Structure 1
Amino acid sequence: MSTITVERRVHVEAPPAAVLPHLADLTRWRSWSPWEGADPDLHREYTGDPGSVGATYAWSGNRKAGAGTMRVTEVDPSGVGIALDFTKPFRSSNVIRFDLTPSGTGTGPGTDVVWRMESPRTFMTRIFPLEKLVGPDFEKGLRQLKATVERG
């Protein structure tokens, strides 16, 4: 089965070590995730050691928020890997990767952050193109991540 890749990037004026915890610790996503606020009554459950491989986040909410789980599969200085499984509004298993590349393009040490999702090409992705569905969300999330990290 072929896959669809959605990818967005941002430059953060902070070293990779300052960005990494905001991505690896799923409890910290509440400060920057583009989907925060989609359901004010969202049910969340976290398991495992935050920021470590195997840590999980499960959510269940309204139609807009849907339901699913994220599990950290990789954490190293170059980035974070996450297995993302949706159960609502439709089932889908995806691979998320955040790549962190040191970059000195600003006034100090910086990081180029790439947020990439690979998803199987299915009947549903033909009806609802992922690029249009999640691309703008990734852009919003990366802007919010940048602001959160740069605020310290």
Structure 2
Amino acid sequence: MLKKVFLALAVAVVGFAAVVASRPSTFRVERSITIAAPVDLPFGIVNDFHKWHFWSPWEALDPNMKKTFDGPFAGPGAIYAWSGNEAAGEGKMTILESKPYESIHIELEFLKPWPGKSLTLVTYQPVPEGIQMTWAMEGQNDFMGKAVSMFIDMDAMLGKDFEKSLATIKTLTEQEAKNRLEREARLKAKAEAEAAAKAAQAAPAAVPNGPAQAATTTP
């Protein structure tokens, strides 16, 4: 009887392994949003890791998360490493390539809860309404990744975080675009007022006309 149980378990394990092995060896998650703001705003808020705390939902997973920044302040070579609780895990991100106002390539390396690497690509495309920002992540599925994908929908799970990130970036950058226009309008009005005041000071004072004198004749 015991032999049959072990044999059935062995068959089940082999069958499960075969099903897992048949799963896709790669994954890709992608989301987009349209932002009514100059492209330098949504580009800059991603190209600089120091600004991620303004919009990244992953940083909220652990308020006490330890973070370090290495390499250049922003752009290619910039590195952001983190170490947090079980929800946040541990890993690092490196900007591999950054084309101003076009695209940003980021390598994402997880160390905990399980090792893994993936590539994040953020692109910016002009559209009539402003800028279409697209966030995509792709990588390889090892055996563990394939097994997890049988029970967890990676597109739904990561896609939700992407959507939240993009929505926050949209809110922040559109507000900053509005603030920028208001600042420019105030500066323009101030400059015009100062120019008008200087012009008034430089204008010659008008000489008032005196009363007309009556003509006299010599006797």
> Which of 121, 126, 138 is the aligned partner of 1:102?
126
Deviations 1:47-91 (A, max 9, x none): 122222000000000000001000001111211110000001111
Greater helix share, structure number: 2
Once the two structures are overlaid, the 10-residue window that deviates more, 45-54 or 121-130, is 121-130
Aligned length: 148
Q: TM-score, normalised by structure 2?
A: 0.65
Give the root-mean-square deviation of aligned CA atoms. 1.4
**Aligned residue number for residue 78 of structure 1:** 102
The higher relative CO (CA closer than 8 Å, separation ≥ 6) is in: 1
Give the unaligned 5+ runs of structure 2. 1-23, 177-219
Conserved 8 A contact 1:24-1:50: no
The runs of 4+ residues in structure 1 deviating greater than 2 Å are 122-126
Whole-angstrom distance in 1 between the partners of 2:172 and 2:144: 33
Whole-angstrom distance in 2 between the partners of 1:139 and 1:123: 28
Whole-angstrom distance in 1 between the partners of 2:74 and 2:172: 17
**Aligned residue number for residue 132 of structure 1:** 156
Greater strand share, structure number: 1
**Aligned residue number for residue 52 of structure 2:** 29
**Aligned residue number for residue 145 of structure 1:** 169
Conserved 8 A contact 1:15-1:102: no
Give the unaligned 5+ runs of structure 1. none
Aligned AA for 2:170? Answer: K
**Cα offset for 1:130?**
1.9
CA radius of gyration, larger in = 2
Aligned AA for 1:62? Answer: N
Conserved 8 A contact 2:59-2:65: no
